[in-house]
Amino acid sequence: MNEVLQKPETVDGELVDSAGREIVLPDSSAVSREVQHTNNALYLRYLLLPFIFLTVALLGGLRIAGEDGAFVFFRPALVCLIFAAILLVLFARAGVLQTDGWFSESSPPLKNVANGFVVATLFAAATQVFNSLLPEQGLPFWIVAFCFFWTLWNNLFADFDARKLFRSLGGLFGLAFVAKYLVLANLTAPAGRTWFEALTENPGQEAITRLLDLPRYSGATGYIQFFAVALFLLGLYLFPATTNIQDRAGNLNGPLTRS
Amino acid sequence: MYSKDAGIIAMKEKYIQILGIAMTLVYGVFVIFLYAAEPRSLEEIPSKAIETVQNAATKGTVITGTYEIDQPRFNEGLAAFRQNNFILARDAFAKADPERRDAKTQYYIAYSFYRQGWGRLTNDDALFKQALESLERVNFIDKNFRSDDADLQLRTPAELKNELEEGLRVTADDFNPLKVLRERK
């Protein structure tokens, strides 16, 4: 009995509380699984997610010049910031991002700050995804921007859950990607041709390029942007709705498991 | 055992949060640097980084009030100015005062535009206009600026401005044949 008292983790009898109710201790493997689970959630939330979102922020504005293959870092237009802000509001409405689960007076300040950084990286990534999907200039920019705005604005007033929001976003991003990197990219005349070559080889393409003010980027740009958008969607899938320990089950399963 | 594990998790959570903040800051600064410096290739990134650090250091000296012009570069520019090599002079002056906060250097830049643009028959209007822009900076930095260089006949921004505006204006006097006898100041 003395030995048992000296090693409280060694239990060889029934434990009862002061009211006489039985206390059931979980077995040690379940506890270690729980610890592992919590650690994984922390690594995901504070290391993997910011890395994913910042990589999206890095790649979202990267274009490869058609003529010499040089990097072109295209800064986001103001409208991209507005769309990203609306998107974050949509996330909050759909429960993908529960504000009280990420920022709380009862949480330690360090946790609130760390969570703030994660949400900031999400905002940066969302901005750059819009920067990636919107045509750079001219009439196509305004048309696609209007379509984005129309869709996001309608979504603001729709009844949403996480699954529906993800479907809607997947469709929106997919369509915009096809419009920009397949349709418009194929209408763009290649760079580095002389006036004479442009007029004799493919005058229609040259005319559309000049009419719509399409920038001449290399085909590699489309591949990079596909990777950036896919990475953003992966980050969203992994993004926990809340960081509270009580809602851990919801945290680890990702937004798609929530109803 | 439960409380011991909870303690380990809390400790670890703190470290992971700090690590996450540090990583986000470093990576975030790198992304901002790329978009600000706009390197055109991977090879250009180190040189752009050095340039950015130097610019940041200069801005730091401005903020702390310890900004000074690069005196050897200024002397280099002055030597070129005296030899009428105005393009080289302006380049050296610009490098000596990258933040364009020194009235004396900016006055020499304005004066170099004037001397380069001055002509016995006609003046170069584009250079005269650039001189006026530089003069505006001098006035902005020091309203009471007066040059101590004996080589300059126009010692104050007001005198130089008047000379430039006269040069830009088309008057009947411009057709006076005796005008070819005038001297550059």
Q: Is B50 on the interface with A (CB under 8 A)?
A: no
Minimal C-alpha gap between B20 and chain A (Å):
5
pLDDT in tens, B130-178: 999 999 999 888 888 998 888 888 889 999 999 899 888 887 777 777 7
**Residue A55's pLDDT is what?**
96
Q: Is A121 on the interface with B (CB under 8 A)?
A: yes
Minimal C-alpha gap between B23 and chain A (Å):
8
Contacts of B18 in chain A (CB under 8 A): 110, 114
Q: pTM of whole model > 0.80? A: no
Minimal C-alpha gap between A105 and chain B (Å):
17
Confidence of residue A256 (pLDDT cuts 50, 70, 90): very low
Considering only alpha carbons, which residue of chain B is nearest residue A119?
A: B24
Residue with the bigger pLDDT between A70 and A191: it is A70
Alpha-carbon gap, residue A7 to A247, rounded angstroms: 32
**Residue A51's pLDDT is what?**
96
Q: Going by C-beta distance under 8 Å and a sequence separation of 6 or more, which residues neighbour residue B93? A: B73, B74, B77, B81, B105, B106, B108, B109, B112
Percentage of residues in chain A having pLDDT higher than 70? 85
Q: Cβ-count burial of B77 within 10 angstroms (0-12 exposed, 13-18 middle, 19+ buried)?
A: buried
- Contact check, Cβ <8 Å, B17/A51: no
- Per-position b or e across A30-63, b if 16+ CB within 10 A of its CB: eeeeeeeebeebbebbbbebbbbbbbbbbbbbbb
- Contact check, Cβ <8 Å, B21/A114: yes
Considering only alpha carbons, which residue of chain A is nearest residue B12?
A: A39
Minimal C-alpha gap between B26 and chain A (Å):
10
pLDDT in tens, A98-156: 888 899 888 899 999 999 999 999 999 999 999 999 998 888 899 999 999 999 998 88
**Residue A35's pLDDT is what?**
76
Closest CB to A42: pick one of B1, B5, B12. B12
- Contact check, Cβ <8 Å, A71/B40: yes
Q: Is A47 on the interface with B (CB under 8 A)?
A: yes
Minimal C-alpha gap between A72 and chain B (Å):
7
Please, which residues bridge with residue A15 across strands?
A23
Q: Which amino acid is at A80?
A: C
**Is the pLDDT assigned to residue A254 strictly greater than 50?**
no
Q: Going by C-beta distance under 8 Å and a sequence separation of 6 or more, which residues neighbour residue A235? A: A49, A52, A53, A56, A122, A125
- Contact check, Cβ <8 Å, B20/A58: no
Least confident of A241-250, B108-117, B167-176: A241-250
